[in-house]
Structure 1
Amino acid sequence: MNTVSARPSVGVHVVTGATAGLGLETAARLAEQGLHVVIAGRGSERLAAARASILERCPGASLDVIAVDLASLDSVRAAAAQLRERYTSIEVLVNNAGVMYTPLERTAEGFELQFGVNCLGHFEWTKLLMPLLLADDGARVVNVSSHAHRANGIDLADPNWERRPYDKFVAYAAAKTANILFTVGLEQRFAGRGVHAFAVHPGTVNTSLGRYMSRDDMRHLKRLVASRAGVESGATPPPIVYASVRDGARTSVWAATTADLLDRGGLYLADCAVVQAAAHATDPIAADALWAMSEQLCGPWGAQ
């Protein structure tokens, strides 16, 4: 489905998971700045509704849509091929789509769902779109991560939970760590060719991303947050403070557009500022190991 509402006269900005929540808000905010935005997501009806929503908010917005399911590498490859046919360059790629705290489920290729969607799907997506990013002058890749990465690193010996009892909270933290390590790996490989990468913490936002969570899960999450905040065992956990969707999208939009980050990259961002990620998420050796493993699972990156 190709429904370009105007021929792009400005750089192309692609946002995954842009049919709802943070992704939709990010796409809308970029469109409001007069940028050409490609809404990438699942389902023709959801894509059409997202496009209509942005046009209602921003009449005359320059928009395109592309159907992609990050839980299927075949879908990722087909969608990327369509974008390569439509465009000669991409200025910004916002890898926003994700799933959170899911039960043990697997992608079409058999990857654990959180790792497969949040990480490997975007690895393949970015790989296939890198020629278009390299064709732009100063392109950016924005990977949406989370402060949840601080809880756990990624077990590269068993990333798909084939030999361990599954823990959806640990799996999510590992996937968010992988998002930052991927950012480090991208910066190592492509900064010298003008493409810079950033990882973003949007804040704790109450969106459909939390649809898999039960009341028990919420209580467990509060205990985890309290533990990281140093609250004593047995004390009442503090309430989780949610940011609005609009506030949650601010840092992704800032990462995509601000001149403050010109010629910089490999950074972790929150509240529209550079912050320090956990050491296990920024280790260049771990980043190389994750990259090599991702190539084994998805196929080699190849010459771009």
Structure 2
Amino acid sequence: MTTPQKPLGSPFGPASTATDVMVGIDLSGKRAIVTGGYSGLGLVTVRHLVQAGAEVIVPARDVDRARAALADLPAVEVLPMDLFSADAVAAFGHALVRRGAPVHLLINSAGIMATPLSRDADGHESQFATNHLGHFRLVCGLWPLLKAAGGARVVSVSSRGHQIAAVAFDDIDFGQRPYDKWVAYGQSKTANALFARALDARGRAHGVRAFSLHPGQILTDLARHLSAEEIAAFDALDAQGNPKVDPDQGVKTIEQGAATGLWCATSPLLAGHGGVYCEDSDVAPVNTGALGRKGVAGWAADDAAAEKLWTLSKEWTGQDVL
């Protein structure tokens, strides 16, 4: 049974940092993969995993940029991969499976937001293709290594933006409806949450548990496609142009933003749990209120929708976990 969407009573909260949640965590002998691990939240996540003793692999579309960003971390290996390319994801997975070393943590942190309309080689809208299908392929490709870990966690970075839209199964790729970059982003983030539920249902018998999360509102490179006017509309900057920080309202520093993902990946409190959406380093409640409030929307915590998404993803990619 999926863990209920109810807080567990974590000792951490909105203002907790990555350093706070990693106190006492020993990852010696563990192997982690972090997509998007060379910028923003992903980079902070990688640094804390390394500090806890983990060996980390960072797949990167821009290998040179990634190696430069991670040059001071000898325990990190950078390998080429582009989530937007099915062939690139497959090549990455095959390369690691040939090595045979188990993967204990997979943190799906990479993503794109509010991009102009574009499509992958199969015609799928780019935000759904990158944020969901790319990570779906990655998990399927790495499945033998996740099972071999004897206890692994897959953590997918969703967003409170999932509250914008459910997955529109009748027109995911905007073939009939007008393209809306925020609706496209919202459904891709809903897909991240549903994916965690469906994956956990399949993985728990093999010791693989899955989680999704909202890190908080943090101004990172994810906002690179937004205009200055759009950023101003979020009220994320103060009068001097510096990012505002108000964790109780969900506006966080990057260290605070990385906390929930690291908590999902490492917290002993989550032993025996899975399939849930987390926020502020705890399991989040179901949101029954307005857009932008704390909690997970009902449509992103729906097992029937999760299974429908899994079936569709399997059909579109030709992959599954076995």
- TM-score by structure 2 length? 0.81
Pick from 172, 183, 196 the counterpart of residue 159 of structure 1: 172
Task: Tell me the residue number matched to 1:257.
Answer: 266
Aligned-pair CA distance for 1:47: 2.2
Task: Tell me the residue number matched to 1:226.
Answer: none
Which one-letter code corresponds to 1:244 in the other structure?
A: T
Residue 198 (structure 1) aligned with residue 211 (structure 2): yes
Q: Measure, in 1, the Cα distance between the counterparts of 2:229 and 2:183.
A: 16
Which one-letter code corresponds to 1:70 in the other structure?
A: L
Alpha carbons 2:31, 2:55 under 8 Å: kept: yes
Q: Measure, in 2, the Cα distance between the counterparts of 1:9 and 1:206.
A: 32
Alpha carbons 2:140, 2:319 under 8 Å: kept: no
Q: Deviations over 1:204-239 (max 9, x none)?
A: 1111100001134336656xxxxxxxxxxxxxxxxx
Task: Tell me the residue number matched to 2:61.
Answer: 42
Which one-letter code corresponds to 1:271 in the other structure?
A: D
Alpha carbons 1:206, 1:242 under 8 Å: kept: no
RMSD between superposed Cα atoms in Å: 1.7
**What is the correspondence of 1:116-155 to structure 2 with a 5 Å cutoff?**
116-155=129-168
Alpha carbons 2:158, 2:192 under 8 Å: kept: yes
Which one-letter code corresponds to 1:114 in the other structure?
A: Q
Q: Measure, in 2, the Cα distance between the counterparts of 1:139 and 1:106.
A: 32
Aligned-pair CA distance for 1:138: 1.2
Aligned-pair CA distance for 1:86: 2.6
Residue 177 (structure 1) aligned with residue 186 (structure 2): no
What stretches of structure 1 of length at least 5 have no aligned partner?
1-7, 56-60, 223-239
Pick from 85, 108, 113 the counterpart of residue 126 of structure 2: 113
Aligned-pair CA distance for 1:108: 3.1
Residue 207 (structure 1) aligned with residue 226 (structure 2): no
Q: Measure, in 2, the Cα distance between the counterparts of 1:68 and 1:25.
A: 20
Q: Measure, in 2, the Cα distance between the counterparts of 1:279 and 1:67.
A: 36
**What is the correspondence of 1:6-45 to structure 2 with a 5 Å cutoff?**
10-45=29-64
Alpha carbons 1:183, 1:199 under 8 Å: kept: yes
> What fraction of aligned residue pairs are identical, expressed as a percent?
40
Task: Tell me the residue number matched to 2:86.
Answer: 73
Aligned-pair CA distance for 1:278: 1.1
- TM-score by structure 1 length? 0.86
What stretches of structure 2 of length at least 5 have no aligned partner?
1-26, 236-248, 286-295
Alpha carbons 2:150, 2:206 under 8 Å: kept: no
Task: Tell me the residue number matched to 2:6.
Answer: none
Q: Deviations over 1:179-215 (max 9, x none)?
A: 0000010011111221100001110111110000113
